[in-house]
Structure 1
Amino acid sequence: MLTLDKIYHAAYVLKNVARKTDLIYAQKLRPDARIYLKTENLQVTGSFKVRGAYCKMAELSEEEKQKGVIACSAGNHAQGVALAAQKGNIPAMICIPEGAPISKVEATKKYGAQVVLVKGAYDDAYQKALELQKETGRTFIHPFDDDEVIAGQGTIGLEILDQLPDVDAVIVPVGGGGLIAGVAYAIKSLNPHCKVYGVQSAGAPSMFNAVKHGHMEELKSVATIADGIAVKKPGDITYELCKKYVDDIVTVTDDEVSSAILALIEEQKLIAEGAGAVAVAAALFNKVDVVGKRVVCLVSGGNIDVNILSRVITRGLLKAGRTANFTIALTDKPGELQRVSTIVADLGANVVAVHHDRADENMAVNACFLKLTMETRDHEQVEEIRKALVEAGYEVTEIH
């Protein structure tokens, strides 16, 4: 059974292991609300997961420690277990989906854990870990559906109330539900008036569906850039705690998550992975009511692969109207490119790529498609450029 005493005990166990991460006021994200960021992306291992993993492993008997532990993870729990194992001199084997970011896999190996890559998603790694647990007799360290693990994650709730006693709402990422279960239990036990909202990816809404429909459901597949919360089925314990203590669960799209990652980089100089940015995405895109309120967005992790980060930034720029791709039909004659470039420049945009397409069979022999990629200010400027080109007699066939 999860109790407040367990969470306080977890805080004591973690005091020399996990950081009490900063709570940062983020004025630029939403001028109409007081948004604070709980920066678990700056935690040791780059994620909150070390809290629950360490608390669980601190409770193991000497015999269990000698036999070792086994876990499954999309990457962050893996690092938490690996670090705890390193500190306790415990052998660790961790099953990770083969599609997990390389940076997370390599970081886990550096802590000394044995990594087993498994085809498929998190749930496939979970099944493999259960098989290996039976074969080896190791103790299974569940990433979310365990009271000790949940208590460890709940220490974040204690810290938030200590850092911002008059908080109105806390927005928390949700995968299997261990983080929000612990945070919601701690906050509702000490401040019942504070709202607790969960956020899932629209491509992996397992807890969202379970709570909305009133029963557990397993998704057939998941697809999201937020790999840390790409879970097909929530936990039994976490589901019950979410039903009781969480006010609402919402979803965000990958485009919204990309925009949130970009906003955190530009406005707050913080790197968040997809799962770590979903709470900020919910606040930015009005998925929960934050206007005029003191709201904490829990940035749960920052372990994003740099290759993925590059793609996410590009997607975020497109979503925000900061980059635009125009396809313009025009007559292929001298001076046309200069005329178009002048229109774009006069409106303050910057052309970064140009491509002439003369091979399309649907256009006239003396025509071409001019494809421009531009750096723009926002969607309003993109529309200004479109109108100016049309008024100058050009046909804009596509904008994206």
Structure 2
Amino acid sequence: MTHPEIDRVTLEDVRAAARLLDGVVTRTPVQPFRAMTEVAGAPVVLKCENLQRAGSFKIRGAYTRLSRMSDDEKARGVVAASAGNHAQGVALAAQMLGIDAVVYMPVDASVPKLIATRGYGAEVRQIGTSVDEALVAARAEAARSGRTLIHPFDHLDVVTGQGTVALEILEQVPDVGTVVVPLGGGGLVAGIATVLAEAAPHVRVVGVQAETAAAYPASLAAGRPVPGTLGTTMADGIAIGTPGDVPFEVLARLGVEVRTVSEEEMSRALLLVAERGKQIVEPSGAAGVAAVLAAAPGSLPGVIVPVLTGGNVDPLLLVRVVQHGLVAAGRYLQLRVCIDDRPGSLAALLDAIAAAGANIVQVEHTRTDTSLTVSQVLVNVQLETKGHEHCTAVVEKLRAAGFDVSA
């Protein structure tokens, strides 16, 4: 049975999708995040879609879309394009419904996401360097083979399925005042905003993009989806070049606010969520928390609910991002110190560092730097520190002890 096309998603459509998804998706938990309450000036509660089946919210929209295809469409199979989370959602939904799936992914897609997508039974083809390039290939495959293209965000059924997140938030956090949502193509934000506009119009919705890959601000200013510049970002899950027509209409009509966050802000948020929230999320999944951290205290009304959209992070990337987050939080300090090339100089430096309360992680000792004289040695030292004030104090104490220090 085909699902009739409608001009706009409604609250009742989303409620119907929730009934369809009952027993298929996980009703993900919410978790009070007291570590952010003082910073935000209001209670913060995390919506943990990183604990969803296939590791992100994407299964909600993918299953809704695939289940409503005709028998003939199901028999011809589906094709999708994704950096990873939509890929896994489509692959899992297709496996559950007995539909053959081909998924195009960028050549630099996360290895764990590739393995998981194949593990759900989909055929993976890698092409291009972005989701937009993979989507071009997926459209060509759909035209050639007759497969149905399952767009990651630009379809009414996908928006409808993603909107079920908002129904759960309203039941789990009845006093919610603001929902902060990572924003790529816009399917999740559109679904959540649609539900809240009808069921709880007092609740504010904020979409969050990576500032180096943010197409929505310019599109909203232009009044139509326009291509944005895709710069380098760790948040591959929300790095989308052009907003979708369906979600853009929702965000524009409902006046959804869109903010951007920096790479440093996302890495700090990811670290905080891991260290204090005990949740592992990918950089894009932490974008909402990053926006709350960057906001002025008290500027977001009511109980704040950031949605942790996904937990499918490559362990190697996680190591790099955590280190970046430690630096951003003043928990990790790298220094270059020029010392005399004589016995005892290095020991004196290390003693001074210990006296300043910093823990030495790594020391590199070199005599070959072109800036040095024959009587000097350059020491590159990496330290564990206790925050920005401690970093400043360490540098000041070393300089007071007569060391030539540059951070």
TM bucket (normalised to shorter chain) is: over 0.9
Match 1:6 to one of 13, 16, 20:
13
- SS at structure 1 position matched to 2:312: coil
For each residue in 1:195-235, what CA deviation from the matched residue of structure 2 results, as whole angstroms up to 9, or x when unmatched? 10000001110112212343322124332100011100010
Q: Against the structure 1 CA distance between its residues 79 and 379, is the aligned structure 2 distance closer, same or farther, given a 3 Å change threshold?
A: same
- SS at structure 1 position matched to 2:226: coil
By how many angstroms is 1:284 displaced? 1.2
Q: Against the structure 1 CA distance between its residues 348 and 361, is the aligned structure 2 distance closer, same or farther, given a 3 Å change threshold?
A: same
Structure 1 runs not aligned, ≥5 long: none
For each residue in 1:84-131, what CA deviation from the matched residue of structure 2 results, as whole angstroms up to 9, or x when unmatched? 111111111111111110111110101101111112200000000000
> d(CA) in 2 for partners of 1:73 and 1:268?
28
Are the counterparts in 2 of residues 39 and 300 from structure 1 also a CA contact under 8 Å? yes
> d(CA) in 2 for partners of 1:247 and 1:124?
28
> d(CA) in 1 for partners of 2:269 and 2:22?
31
- Residues 1:151 and 2:160 aligned together: yes
> d(CA) in 2 for partners of 1:246 and 1:25?
28
Aligned runs of 1:176-325 on 2, under 5 Å? 176-286=185-295, 290=299, 293-325=302-334
> d(CA) in 2 for partners of 1:290 and 1:346?
41
Are the counterparts in 2 of residues 184 and 246 from structure 1 also a CA contact under 8 Å? no
Determine the structure 2 residue equivalent to 1:93: 102
Q: Against the structure 1 CA distance between its residues 164 and 277, is the aligned structure 2 distance closer, same or farther, given a 3 Å change threshold?
A: same
- SS at structure 2 position matched to 1:189: helix
Determine the structure 2 residue equivalent to 1:118: 127
- SS at structure 1 position matched to 2:276: helix
Name the stretch that deviates more: 335-344 or 193-202. 335-344
Q: Against the structure 1 CA distance between its residues 255 and 70, is the aligned structure 2 distance closer, same or farther, given a 3 Å change threshold?
A: same
- SS at structure 2 position matched to 1:324: strand
- SS at structure 1 position matched to 2:176: coil
Determine the structure 1 residue equivalent to 2:3: none
> d(CA) in 2 for partners of 1:373 and 1:230?
32
- Residues 1:374 and 2:383 aligned together: yes
- SS at structure 1 position matched to 2:125: strand
- TM-score under structure 1 normalisation? 0.97
By how many angstroms is 1:288 displaced? 8.4
Are the counterparts in 2 of residues 282 and 288 from structure 1 also a CA contact under 8 Å? no
> d(CA) in 1 for partners of 2:233 and 2:291?
15
Structure 2 runs not aligned, ≥5 long: 1-7
Determine the structure 2 residue equivalent to 1:128: 137
Query: How many correspondences in the alignment?
Result: 398
> d(CA) in 2 for partners of 1:223 and 1:73?
17
Q: Against the structure 1 CA distance between its residues 324 and 167, is the aligned structure 2 distance closer, same or farther, given a 3 Å change threshold?
A: same
> d(CA) in 2 for partners of 1:127 and 1:291?
38
Q: Against the structure 1 CA distance between its residues 247 and 65, is the aligned structure 2 distance closer, same or farther, given a 3 Å change threshold?
A: closer
Determine the structure 1 residue equivalent to 2:85: 76
Determine the structure 1 residue equivalent to 2:5: none
By how many angstroms is 1:358 displaced? 1.1
> d(CA) in 1 for partners of 2:128 and 2:238?
17
Match 1:30 to one of 31, 37, 53:
37
Name the stretch that deviates more: 41-50 or 27-36. 27-36
- SS at structure 1 position matched to 2:45: strand
- Residues 1:18 and 2:56 aligned together: no
> d(CA) in 2 for partners of 1:169 and 1:291?
6
Q: Amino acid of the residue matched to residue 32 of structure 2?
A: Y
Q: Amino acid of the residue matched to residue 28 of structure 1?
A: A
Are the counterparts in 1 of residues 339 and 346 from structure 2 also a CA contact under 8 Å? no
> d(CA) in 2 for partners of 1:313 and 1:85?
34
Are the counterparts in 1 of residues 178 and 300 from structure 2 also a CA contact under 8 Å? no
Are the counterparts in 1 of residues 337 and 403 from structure 2 also a CA contact under 8 Å? yes
- Residues 1:60 and 2:72 aligned together: no
Name the stretch that deviates more: 126-135 or 203-212. 203-212
Q: Amino acid of the residue matched to residue 25 of structure 2?
A: A
By how many angstroms is 1:28 displaced? 1.0
For each residue in 1:19-64, what CA deviation from the matched residue of structure 2 results, as whole angstroms up to 9, or x when unmatched? 1111110001232321110000000000000000000111111111
Name the stretch that deviates more: 298-307 or 350-359. 350-359
Are the counterparts in 1 of residues 88 and 113 from structure 2 also a CA contact under 8 Å? yes
Are the counterparts in 2 of residues 222 and 232 from structure 1 also a CA contact under 8 Å? no
Aligned runs of 1:29-48 on 2, under 5 Å? 29-31=36-38, 32-48=41-57
By how many angstroms is 1:290 displaced? 4.7
By how many angstroms is 1:189 displaced? 1.1
For each residue in 1:119-146, what CA deviation from the matched residue of structure 2 results, as whole angstroms up to 9, or x when unmatched? 2200000000000001110111111011
- TM-score under structure 2 normalisation? 0.95
